[in-house]
């Protein structure tokens, strides 16, 4: 991966105090820059949302509270068993509830608007003509694409300039890398491709690989091939979307299926890879174990960055995950239907096992509303686990894996030097936005506006740029060498088998044996 070369002259003389190696310091510096850039983007979004707030905010909050009271009253009425479902009063209360919910949604949206939303965009879906990807509801997305480009160019260009890459060398290279990322996004946005969860990461990687393995990556592009930097910054921004209050959404059954089974599967798969399959690369083992047990591409990115996996290892893990996701999102709903499984149980099973979030929702949608709701909620709770996983893996790596390869027990300072600092930014963003979210309606509206208008667009671009970069600096030989002996495939299949069995067992215990009332309620 591209990083400025080591400078032996700058290495500190040997002293009693442990000094980080030059490469470590460069990495640290990039980590802190990632935290700074991520914070700048999130901070700017919060300020923009605050600035865009209407003057009568307090009146709107009061109005919102009144609507909430009406909704609660209507929900209580509708939940009353004596209230006949076929009565005209029931139909009228249902219509009123829908109207109140719509009014609430509009009021919340009006409470916090993100002015940056119009200026940051990515290509939309298209079916017949790729030109349709650059407009949405007859509105051009080009200003938004240009905005995302300018923001990325200025932020990364400035940071890299301080780290030693002249802006005049970075800018032309970045234009090309950004165009390649736009091309990859456009390929991924075709409706058929989207339906089968073939995410942008795959196409970004393919576009980069295509260039590097045919004509070769031109030397002038190298300053903008910044895989690690893009990923770390994207992860800090993703932190804003990791909201801990979501963890309790599905009560104890959700926690058991998503937060008890998942770590057990992750650790068991990793140990199986180490001691049974004896996979030579611990980081490859960890990335595959995490993307299979947690939530696919996003978990793979976070874990790979936390354990400093090689770029080919991340590519392989994502390839495996996407392949099995496509199979599972088609096969699992069919199996659940064939055995006439309770849709709530089926939804929990799919939510806990299918890697990708979008694929879980699509598979749940096939089985109906109850399955969709449970599947998507279980996956959402699993999504929150990314923060804990990344932090845990980073701590485990610096305290156990790195020292065992050097044979020395590290001191506190050495652990600090080795710790990937951007993970702290990721966790801090998650905690901060979780706190803002928990402050009430205004806080929730602010966080939602930041996420929908800025964070999900920008981290999407940064991850896409990272995968184009990986493709540009990888050759097929390196990639295929990772599959030698088929061990990664065996690891994935064995881990996923354990995941399928354990998730089904725990979901059955929770939703059928322990909480049958809740299951009945969810089915209504």
Span 484-523, contacts to other proteins by CB under 8 A: 514-518, 521-522
> Per-residue x/- marks for other proteins, 303-342, CB under 8 A?
-xx--xxxx--x--------------x-------------
Q: Binder to other proteins among 201, 350, 445, 458 (CB under 8 A)?
A: 201
DSSP 307: T
Backbone angles phi, psi at 135, to 5 degrees: -145, 150
Write out the H or E segment, with its range, that includes residue 424.
helix 422-437
Q: How far is the CB of 3 from other proteins (least distance, A)?
A: 5
Q: How far is the CB of 37 from other proteins (least distance, A)?
A: 17
User: What is residue 190's three-state secondary structure?
Assistant: strand
Binding residues among 227-286 for other proteins as defined by CB under 8 A: 227-228, 231, 238, 241, 246, 248-254, 283
Structure tokens at 233: 């910054």
The 10 Å Cβ neighbour count of residue 392 is 18
Structure tokens at 521: 């309620």
Q: How far is the CB of 444 from other proteins (least distance, A)?
A: 10
What is the C-alpha radius of gyration for the chain, rounded to an integer number of angstroms? 24
Binding residues among 29-68 for other proteins as defined by CB under 8 A: none
Binding residues among 64-103 for other proteins as defined by CB under 8 A: 71-72, 75-76, 79, 101
User: What is residue 29's three-state secondary structure?
Assistant: helix
Binding residues among 130-159 for other proteins as defined by CB under 8 A: 130
Q: How far is the CB of 219 from other proteins (least distance, A)?
A: 5
Whether the CB-CB separation of 295 and 273 falls below 8 Å is answered with no
Asked if 456 touches other proteins (CB under 8 A), the answer is: yes
Return the number of the residue (37 or 237) whose C-beta is nearest other proteins. Answer: 237
Return the number of the residue (172 or 218) whose C-beta is nearest other proteins. Answer: 218
Q: How far is the CB of 313 from other proteins (least distance, A)?
A: 8
Residue 365 C-alpha from the chain's centroid: 21
Give the binding-site size for other proteins (rule: CB under 8 A).
100
CA-based end-to-end distance of the chain: 52
Whether the CB-CB separation of 230 and 178 falls below 8 Å is answered with no
Q: Give the Å distances, CA to CA, from 454 to 45, 118, 144, 185.
A: 6, 10, 11, 17
Report the C-alpha gap between 282 and 63 in whole angstroms: 55
Return the number of the residue (185 or 272) whose C-beta is nearest other proteins. Answer: 185
Place of tokens 């400025």: 4
Return the number of the residue (149 or 463) whose C-beta is nearest other proteins. Answer: 463
141-160: buried (b, 16+ CB within 10 Å) or exposed (e) per residue? beebbebbbebbbebbbebb
Binding residues among 382-441 for other proteins as defined by CB under 8 A: 383
Binding residues among 351-370 for other proteins as defined by CB under 8 A: 356-359, 361-362, 365-366
Residue 116 C-alpha from the chain's centroid: 21
Q: Binder to other proteins among 64, 112, 187, 394 (CB under 8 A)?
A: 187
Q: Binder to other proteins among 123, 236, 352, 379 (CB under 8 A)?
A: 379
Place of tokens 């809740």: 518
Return the number of the residue (285 or 357) whose C-beta is nearest other proteins. Answer: 357
Asked if 162 touches other proteins (CB under 8 A), the answer is: no
Span near other proteins by CB under 8 A; candidates 12-20, 160-168, 189-197, 257-265: 189-197
Q: Binder to other proteins among 42, 120, 181, 451 (CB under 8 A)?
A: 451
Q: Binder to other proteins among 21, 218, 440, 486 (CB under 8 A)?
A: 218
Q: Give the Å distances, CA to CA, from 404 to 396, 401, 410, 414.
A: 11, 5, 10, 14
Asked if 161 touches other proteins (CB under 8 A), the answer is: no
């Amino acid at each position: 991966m591209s990083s400025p070369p080591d400078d032996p002259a700058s290495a500190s003389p040997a002293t009693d105090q442990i000094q980080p190696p030059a490469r470590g310091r460069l990495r640290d510096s990039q980590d802190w820059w990632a935290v700074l850039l991520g914070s700048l983007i999130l901070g700017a979004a919060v300020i923009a949302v605050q600035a865009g707030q209407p003057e009568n905010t307090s009146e709107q909050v009061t109005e919102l509270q009144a609507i909430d009271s009406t909704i609660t009253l209507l929900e209580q009425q509708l939940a009353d068993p004596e209230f006949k479902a076929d009565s005209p009063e029931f139909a009228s209360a249902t219509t009123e509830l829908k109207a109140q919910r719509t009014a609430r949604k509009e009021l919340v949206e009006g409470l916090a608007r993100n002015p940056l939303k119009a200026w940051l965009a990515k290509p939309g879906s298209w079916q017949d003509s790729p030109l349709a990807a650059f407009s949405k509801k007859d509105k051009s997305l080009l200003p938004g694409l240009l905005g995302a480009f300018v923001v990325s160019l200025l932020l990364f260009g400035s940071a890299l300039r301080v780290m030693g890459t002249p802006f005049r060398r970075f800018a032309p290279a970045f234009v090309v890398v950004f165009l390649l990322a736009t091309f990859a996004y456009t390929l991924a946005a075709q409706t058929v491709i989207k339906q089968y969860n073939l995410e942008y990461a795959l196409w970004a990687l393919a576009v980069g690989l295509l260039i590097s393995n045919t004509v070769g990556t031109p030397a002038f592009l190298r300053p903008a091939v910044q895989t690690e930097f893009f990923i770390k910054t994207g992860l800090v921004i993703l932190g804003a979307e990791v909201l801990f209050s979501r963890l309790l959404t599905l009560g104890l059954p959700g926690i058991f299926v998503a937060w008890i089974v998942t770590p057990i599967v992750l650790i068991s798969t990793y140990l199986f890879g180490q001691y049974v399959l004896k996979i030579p690369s611990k980081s490859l083992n960890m990335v595959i174990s995490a993307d299979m047990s947690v939530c696919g591409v996003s978990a793979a990115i976070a874990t790979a960055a936390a354990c400093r996996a090689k770029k080919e290892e991340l590519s392989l893990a994502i390839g495996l995950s996407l392949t099995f996701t496509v199979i599972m999102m088609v096969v699992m709903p069919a199996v659940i239907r064939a055995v006439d499984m309770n849709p709530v149980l089926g939804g929990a099973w799919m939510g806990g096992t299918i890697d990708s979030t979008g694929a879980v929702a699509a598979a749940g949608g096939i089985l109906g509303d109850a399955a969709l709701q449970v599947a998507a909620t279980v996956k959402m709770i699993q999504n929150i686990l990314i923060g804990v996983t990344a932090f845990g893996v980073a701590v485990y790596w610096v305290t156990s894996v790195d020292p065992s390869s050097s044979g020395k027990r590290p001191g506190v300072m050495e652990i600090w030097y080795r710790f990937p600092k951007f993970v702290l930014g990721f966790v801090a963003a998650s905690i901060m936005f979780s706190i803002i979210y928990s402050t009430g309606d205004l806080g929730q509206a602010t966080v939602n506006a930041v996420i929908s208008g800025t964070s999900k667009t920008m981290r999407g671009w940064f991850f896409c740029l990272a995968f184009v970069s990986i493709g540009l600096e990888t050759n097929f030989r390196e990639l295929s060498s990772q599959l030698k002996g088929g061990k990664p495939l065996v690891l994935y299949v064995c881990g996923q088998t354990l995941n399928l069995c354990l998730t089904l067992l725990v979901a059955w215990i929770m939703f059928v044996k322990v909480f049958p009332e809740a299951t009945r309620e969810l089915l209504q």
